[in-house]
Structures are given as C-alpha cells and as structure tokens.
Amino acid sequence: MDIRELVLQQLRTVFDPELGINVVDLGLIYDLQISDGNIYILMTLTTPGCPLHDSIVGGVKRALEHIDGIRDVKVEVTWNPPWTPERMSEEALRQLGHFS
C-alpha cells in the first residue's frame, strides 16, 4: 500500500460524530499533499461554526501522526467552497438512507 492510500485509510477512521460518517466519504477532504514526511490537508466541515470543529480536526491529526515516517501533519480548514451533500460518496449516501 502506498503512503497516499495509507493516509486515506487512516482518514476513514475519523468520523463526524453527528452523522457517523468518516471525513473522506463525507467529502470534507479538499486537498491532500504528502512530501518528505509532511502531510498537508485542506478540509472543510459540514457547517461554519461547527461545534465539533476541534474534535474533528484533532481527530484528523491524531489519525495521521502515528504513521511511520510522518514528521508533521498540518490541517487547514476552509469554508470556500462551502460543503454540500453532493460531495458525499455513494457509500455515505447509502449510510444516510439515500439510494442512487
């Protein structure tokens, strides 16, 4: 498994506590860059002012910091473009009871 796949696998262990869906399938991860042991993630949350901001962002950092060879994890939260349900994967939609 390459490092990008490993990072995505670890990100799938971080869940939005309100929806019970991981941050990857929710479509919250906008950009992922990996270089020389450093990870940069640009992500959003489902709503500005999300009361779980610190919990989710902290969960993302904790999920990645223990990966062998990773020295630093930087997570930046953006509101542009705003998150919409269209960003969700088919699996996330199924989990919420929406069938395509």
Query: Consecutive 10-residue runs of the chain (100 residues): their mean pLDDT?
Result: 94 95 98 97 95 96 95 97 95 81
In a domain, 98, yes or no: no
What pLDDT score does 85 carry?
92
Cα separation of 73 and 39, whole Å?
A: 5
Domain span including residue 56: 3-86
In a domain, 75, yes or no: yes
What pLDDT score does 100 carry?
53
CATH number of the domain that 81 lies in?
3.30.300.130
What pLDDT score does 97 carry?
84
In a domain, 17, yes or no: yes
Q: CA distances (Å), 48 to each of 14, 20, 26, 89, 100, in order? A: 19, 18, 15, 21, 28
Residue given tokens 């902290």 in the structure block: 58
What pLDDT score does 96 carry?
85
